[in-house]
Amino acid sequence: MPVIEKLNIVVTGGAGFIGSHLCDRLVQKGHAVTCLDNLDTGRFDNVRPLLNHPNFRFVEADVRDPLSIDGPVDRIYNLACPASPPHYQRDPIGTVKTCVLGALHVLELARATGARVLQASTSEVYGDPEIHPQPESYRGAVNTTGPRACYDEGKRCAEALFFDYRRLYGVPVKVARIFNTYGPRMLENDGRVISNFVVQALRNRPITLYGDGSQTRSFCYVADLLDGLELLMESDDAITGPINLGNPREVTVEEIARMVLRQTGSRSPITYRPLPEDDPRRRRPEIAAAARALGWAPRVALEDGLKSTIDDFAMRVATPVSPASNSAEPPAGLTAAARPARKRRAALSAVGSSA
């Protein structure tokens, strides 16, 4: 993808798992990047290596508040939102506000600056789908009153706002429906399946399989996802999405457990836990639209992506720790990642170079 010009790019949620990889990539391509994050589920360490870069700045801010950015803005990637079920269910009302007010505020920022804006939407807009695989035309089956609704309905409302801002104000919008994405830098206590299984396997702790493990997901490696996000952002204005970005290889959760055990050589036993309420039974993206509109398809095989993910976790969790800190349960209160970050809050409110 040739870089045509140096762009001023805001990445909300830029200290998180996907956002920090995106910041890395955009800075490497010569763009001026403002990472905006409240460090809820993000880690300052994810962007620390970028701080001395003249084209990078970190702004600690919350998308639930109106946003203002010094200087011009050409692109906004709106990634700010906890993505793991235990994290987004920890403060469900806060999650709705992050999805809805966050969308409103980035759209206002786009309107004020003339920027193009991309929303990180989700396969969760399809809920527990009755159609398989899921095309963009499918309108979904979300339980509006269940524990996942704060995220699912929040993201659906955000999509509605994006298209209303386009219709009413002509804001150039892009909506990506991201399917399960994994890779290096996921939090140890993130609570999602791949991070849980890898951490548990590396520590020889029991692998926590929810339900009977027959539910399916389709896992996309983070580098593939970034290719898709960038292609969508830089596509013609007429291409708005929503567009599915995900890997169509579908596996059961039990298969994932066995792959992780095999690739780590772990002695962990598998233990069965209750299936969380409203856990979707099947999920696989239909990606013909992404292929057609963007020429995009994922390239990284699950086995290879898992290897990189395992290698990354192995460096972080090599030392076995007490069972309490290896919990697969939602963390109580703040995340382990957020606690030290918040202590540093005063020092961090705006760090790095002016972009």
CB of 265 to ligand UDP, least distance (A): 20
Q: Which single residue is written with the structure tokens 């029991």?
A: 206
Question: 152-181 mask for ligand UDP (x: CB under 6 A)?
Answer: ----------------------------x-
Looking at the Cβ atoms of 38 and 113, the one nearer to ligand NAD is: 38
| H-assigned helices in the chain | 17-28, 44-47, 85-90, 92-113, 149-169, 193-202, 222-233, 253-264, 288-294, 302-316, 338-343, 345-348
What's the CA gap between 325 and 328, in Å, rounded? 9
Reply yes or no on whether 165 is catalytic.
no
Looking at the Cβ atoms of 120 and 256, the one nearer to ligand NAD is: 120
Are 63 and 78 in contact by the 8 Å Cβ rule? The answer is yes
CB of 5 to ligand UDP, least distance (A): 37
Looking at the Cβ atoms of 275 and 297, the one nearer to ligand UDP is: 275
Q: In what order do the strands lie in the sheet with 8-12?
A: 243-245, 173-178, 116-122, 75-78, 8-12, 32-37, 56-60, 350-352
Looking at the Cβ atoms of 69 and 268, the one nearer to ligand NAD is: 69
Structure-block tokens of residue 20:
């920090």
The residue within the footprint of ligand UDP, chosen from 59, 117, 209, 231 (CB under 6 A), is 209
| Plot region of 59 (φ>0 → left; ψ -120 to 50 → alpha; else → beta) | beta
What's the CA gap between 244 and 131, in Å, rounded? 14
Q: Which amino acid is at 264?
A: T
What's the CA gap between 107 and 161, in Å, rounded? 8
- Given 77, 126, 151, 221, the catalytic residue: 151
Judged by CB under 6 A, the stretch of 43-51, 104-112, 231-239, 272-280 that binds ligand UDP is 272-280
47 binds, among ligand UDP, ligand NAD, none (CB under 5 to 8 A by kind): none
Which residues contact ligand NAD by CB under 6 A? 12-13, 15-19, 37-42, 62-64, 79-83, 98, 102, 120, 122, 178, 180-181
In the complex, the residues that contact ligand UDP under the rule CB under 6 A are: 84-85, 180, 192-193, 196, 208-210, 215, 217, 253, 275-276, 279, 328
**Residues designated as active site:** 151
